[in-house]
Structure 1
Amino acid sequence: MPGVIVTDPPKATREEVAELARYGVATVHEAMGRTGLLGSRLRPNQQDTRVAGTAVTVLSWPGDNLMIHAAVEQCGEGDLLVVTTTSPSTDGMFGELFATALKQRGVRGIVTNAGIRDTSELREMGFPAWSAAVSAQGTVKATGGSVNVPVVIGGEIVRPGDVIVADDDGVVVVPREGAAEAARKSRAREEKEAATRAAFLEGQLGLDRYGLRDTLTRLGVEYRTYDEQTKHTGAGS
């Protein structure tokens, strides 16, 4: 498998990343029109952690972590490693030694749709990881691949320099050119949700705040008392 290692790709700015880091994955995903989510298979190795960083992407052969070694050299402060394989793999391609090297370089975490291992050590050292699998199965270092090329995870394209936001709910990618706009929309959505939260605390119902009573009527949903429903169906319910 021939490959390429691309150096110095364009990236979202640190200010844009810092702004997006304020918001949860669900907020950013919704603010971007329900796009960018890297699927439901990626689960966090830790809890109560939210990170954001610029993607350094890796395309590897399954069961081979050679290109992760190559990617470490391309990683720097504020980056987040994104690893996928040319075909499905659950092998433990990433562990504590990789995390040690990356943390020293200022990398904020890893996202992979393959497997990780040394999960306890990763939590202890505070290196966040999101993966599709956990496996003690090791890997080889024998096949070429690519670093800092566009990759696909969960049906979404991740390019080097795009913003990755990850928390307990999953992982979302924000295209680098749209990072500032995504941050603006996320801020507006958070402000709107704060107002809704305050209304709910005062007892308002979502049916009224969102104007959903008309929706129920339009869909033909009826209100009936228990007695009316019993007569309608001919039996208790």
Structure 2
Amino acid sequence: MIEEPPILSINGSMKRPSSSQVEAFQGVPTGFVVDALFGSGALNRAIQPLGEGRDLNRSVAGPALTANCGPADILATLAALKFIQDGDVVVSAFAAHQGCAAAGDRVTGMMKNCGAVGFVTDGPVRDYAGIVEVGMPVWCSGLTPASPYASGPGSVGFPIQIGDQEVETGDMIIADRDGVVVVPFERIDETLANLERVREAEEELDAKVANGLKIPDSVAELLDSDRTRFHT
């Protein structure tokens, strides 16, 4: 007789950034992080802050805890509750299924009770008012009242595909009103070093704009060079 496959698979060796690495990303805009990653890392724009951030206008930065659910099922997300550490962002791959909710107010409430600071999924969620009351920042594809199943199969802690990116447990997730960015675990220190350069460049440009800058210097120089041709 063929043995039944397991309903759940749990990664027993999950990476996690240091507390100092996590702290260094707090309050950093997602655009800065993308620039520090040289244009990579952003999840597909279909994954947006719940309600466009009107009622849960908060940025979060924390280690990813991944749940691979598959379409219309949330068993892996429920199992992930057991493994949440303070400051985690639960990232649930729903196979971009849009036919039912990937979570609701009770599930996000339990995540918060376990110490999570955010929830990211490529599916919709339900119970908008309840999620706002819970106070859990959520990034998702929208809203639906339809209920999911919780029968599996699913996995927790393994690499997932979500929003055109691969996310592993222990990667850094940075999310705000602009969207969600993932920093691979192996690139955290590199990205933090690059962030200093990005901050300096942004602050310099902000000052120039505030002082009346109309056209970036590099564009003005290009327009005045032989690399630009005017046609009459």
Give TM-score, length-normalised by structure 2: 0.88
> Given the alignment of the two structures, is residue 170 of structure 1 paired with residue 175 of structure 2, yes or no?
no
User: How far is the alpha carbon of 1:206 from its aligned partner?
Assistant: 3.2
1:193-232 to 2 correspondences below 5 Å: 193-208=202-217, 211-216=218-223, 217=225, 218-221=227-230
What secondary structure sits across from 1:220 in the alignment? coil
For 2:45, the aligned partner's letter is: S
1:14-93 matches, within 5 Å, as 14-45=19-50, 46-47=53-54, 48-86=57-95, 88-93=97-102
Is the deviation greater in 171-180 or in 181-190? 181-190
* Deviation of the 1:87 alpha carbon: 6.0
User: 169, 173, 178: which one pairs with 1:160?
Assistant: 169
Give unpaired runs (5+ residues) of structure 2. Answer: none
How many corresponding residue pairs? Answer: 221
Cα deviation 1:158-200 (Å, max 9, x = unaligned): 0011000000000000011211221221232112211111122
- Residues 50-76 of structure 1: per-residue CA shift (max 9 Å, x gap): 001111111113111111111110111
Task: List gaps (5 residues or longer) in structure 1.
Answer: 223-231, 233-237
Percent identity at matched positions? 28
What's 2:120 paired with?
Answer: 111
8 Å Cα contact 1:90/1:132 also seen in 2? no
What is the CA deviation profile of residues 96-135 of structure 1, one whole-angstrom value per residue up to 9, with x for unaligned ones?
1112211112101100001111112212221100001311
Query: Which of structure 1's runs of 4+ aligned residues deviate more than 6 A?
Result: none
Tell me the C-alpha RMSD between the 2 structures: 1.8
Shift of the alpha carbon at 1:221? 4.2
The higher radius of gyration belongs to 1
Indicate conservation of the 8 Å contact 1:113/1:133, yes or no. no
